[in-house]
Amino acid sequence: MQDPLPALLAFSASAGAIAFINPCGIALLPAYVSFYVGVAPEEAGLRVGTLARAVLLGLLATAGFMAVFGGAGAVLAAIGVWAIRYVPWLAAVLGLAIIGVGVALLLGYRPSVAVPSPDASKLVAGRGIIYFPLFGVAYALASLSCTIPIFLYVTLQALSLGGFAEAMTVFIAYSAGMGASMTAFTLALVVAGGLVRRFIYRVLPYTMRLAGAVMIAAGAYILYWQLFVGGLLG
């Protein structure tokens, strides 16, 4: 029997990378841009030191992602083993929930960030790289308001592995995927800072509906997989 862990790790990392672009978290990106410019002002040319600094700051933000998702995953993995037998059905229900949220976003629903998070404007005032992990924590917490169905689906798949250590590797992969997107975004600030800033402010008004379309597609795929490939109707 083929080991499902490698495929699940790849899926979780991809889900985390995609989940980075969500309407609840993306609202913090303008503050992140200002924060980055304050810590590492734009320099002429693509110097090796500048690129290395961008990677370092992206990795520091990734540490914040891992603190949030790894911590939440550890709790869920520790208390959620009893739900393993119900994973296929719970995943199908989550697929329907994701579709519902996507439809609501397309129709104009604007979710509020109910999860408490640090004030990004205060982070900007800190002007130190030590605040990048805190920004990662803030971004992860804010993102959960919009990506909780995706994270829960990843959680259910992690629990299906049957072991705590295996489940934790899935959560780490999810965090690493989101961190890879954050690092790529930070590098983009180095390569084309002005263009990136203009792009963010232009797309902000459309992020909700775009997120809705993506969530409908993701929910439909999850539902199809569980019902027809996973064998719930077979």
Residue 71 or 120, more confident: 71
Q: What percent of the chain has pLDDT over 70?
A: 73
For the chain, the domain total comes to: 1
Asked if residue 200 belongs to a domain, the reply is yes
For the ranges 28-42, 111-125, 197-211, the lowest mean pLDDT is seen at: 111-125
Nearest to 123 by CA among 168, 173, 61, 172: 61
pLDDT classification of 105: cutoffs 50, 70, 90: confident
Is residue 120 over pLDDT 50? Answer: no
Asked if residue 211 belongs to a domain, the reply is yes
- Cα separation, 44 vs 48, whole angstroms: 12
Q: What is the pLDDT of residue 135?
A: 84
Asked if residue 140 belongs to a domain, the reply is yes
Asked if residue 183 belongs to a domain, the reply is yes
Is residue 88 over pLDDT 50? Answer: yes
- Cα separation, 61 vs 182, whole angstroms: 7
Asked if residue 159 belongs to a domain, the reply is yes
| pTM (two decimals) | 0.72
How wide is the angle at C-alpha 129 spanned by C-alphas 124 and 131, nearest 5°? 50
Is residue 48 over pLDDT 60? Answer: no
Asked if residue 135 belongs to a domain, the reply is yes
pLDDT classification of 75: cutoffs 50, 70, 90: confident
Asked if residue 234 belongs to a domain, the reply is no
Domain that holds residue 152: 5-229
Asked if residue 191 belongs to a domain, the reply is yes
Neighbour count for residue 102 (Cβ, 10 Å): 23
Name all contacts of 107-114 with Cβ < 8 Å and 24+ positions apart: 107/212, 108/208, 109/208, 110/208, 111/23, 111/24, 111/145, 111/146, 112/145, 113/24, 113/27, 113/142, 113/145, 114/145
